[in-house]
Amino acid sequence: MHPIHLISFGYLHLPTSPDDSPVPPTADRIEDVRDRLRDPAAARDILNLDGFNPRVQDVVLNTPGARELLANLADYASLPAGPRRIAIGCAGGRHRASGLKLLARELRARGRQVDVEHLHVHLPRVLKATAGTGTGTGASA
């Protein structure tokens, strides 16, 4: 079987197309987890940690539906003619998306060769202005 390349990214760091929509990395499957998994950045005690930290991974994994999503992705990646590249994106790419280390672990346990690339985990948190404030210190991403 071929190796699987997993990519984590943040939508707020992506280049945009002429219509201002973000251009995600090229992949056979792209999972947008912004609305599916709890944002660990909302918990102040782990705000400055990233998805490599076990505390962040616990928050991500204990989000309702997270285990099912990981199982679904692992099953999909295990298909005989399955994907070569899976990309997982969240807002900033530091927490939920980089937590795909959990998916890599599961795939390796199933005997798959996995390469992981984190596009934005090293970048600072993104602060996005809330509507009407213009302060640039609104909701974190």
Q: Residue 128: what pLDDT?
A: 60
Domain membership of residue 114 (yes or no) is yes
- Domain hosting residue 28, numbered range: 4-118
Instruction: Judge whether 66 lies within some domain.
Output: yes
Backbone phi, then psi, for 57, in 5-degree steps?
A: -60, -40
In a domain, 130, yes or no: no
Using a cut of 0.85, tell me whether the model's pTM lies above it: no
Backbone angles phi, psi at 102, to 5 degrees: -65, -40
- Is residue 131 one of the residues assigned to a domain? no
Q: Beta partners for 87?
A: 7, 30
Q: Which has the higher per-residue pLDDT, 66 or 129?
A: 66
Question: What does DSSP say about strands 85-90 and 114-118: parallel, antiparallel, or unpaired?
Answer: unpaired
DSSP lists the bridge partners of residue 116 as 6
Q: Return the closest-CA partner of residue 1 out of 117, 107, 118.
A: 107
Confidence of residue 130 (pLDDT cuts 50, 70, 90): very low
Q: What confidence score (pLDDT) does residue 132 get?
A: 37
Q: Tell me how many degrees the CA angle 129-44-59 measures, rounded to the nearest 5.
A: 105
Residue 133 has pLDDT above 70, yes or no: no
Look at residue 137 and tell me if it is in a domain: no
Model confidence pLDDT, tens digit, residues 41-85: 777 778 788 888 888 888 888 889 899 999 999 999 988 888 999
Question: Cα separation of 60 and 48, whole Å?
Answer: 15
Residue 136: inside a domain, yes or no? no
Judge contact between 28 and 83, C-beta under 8 A.
yes
For the chain, the average pLDDT equals: 83
Name the domain count of the chain. Answer: 1
pLDDT at 57: 86
Number of residues assigned to the chain: 141
Q: Average pLDDT, stretch 28-35?
A: 93
CB-hemisphere CA count at 13 Å for 73?
Answer: 29
Residue 107 reports pLDDT greater than 90: yes
Q: Is residue 124 part of a domain?
A: no
Q: What does the alpha-carbon distance between residue 120 and residue 124 come to, in Å, rounded to a whole number?
A: 9
Asked whether residue 134 is domain-assigned, the answer is no
Q: In angstroms, what CA-CA distances link 44 with 39, 49, 56, 115, 132?
A: 11, 10, 11, 31, 24
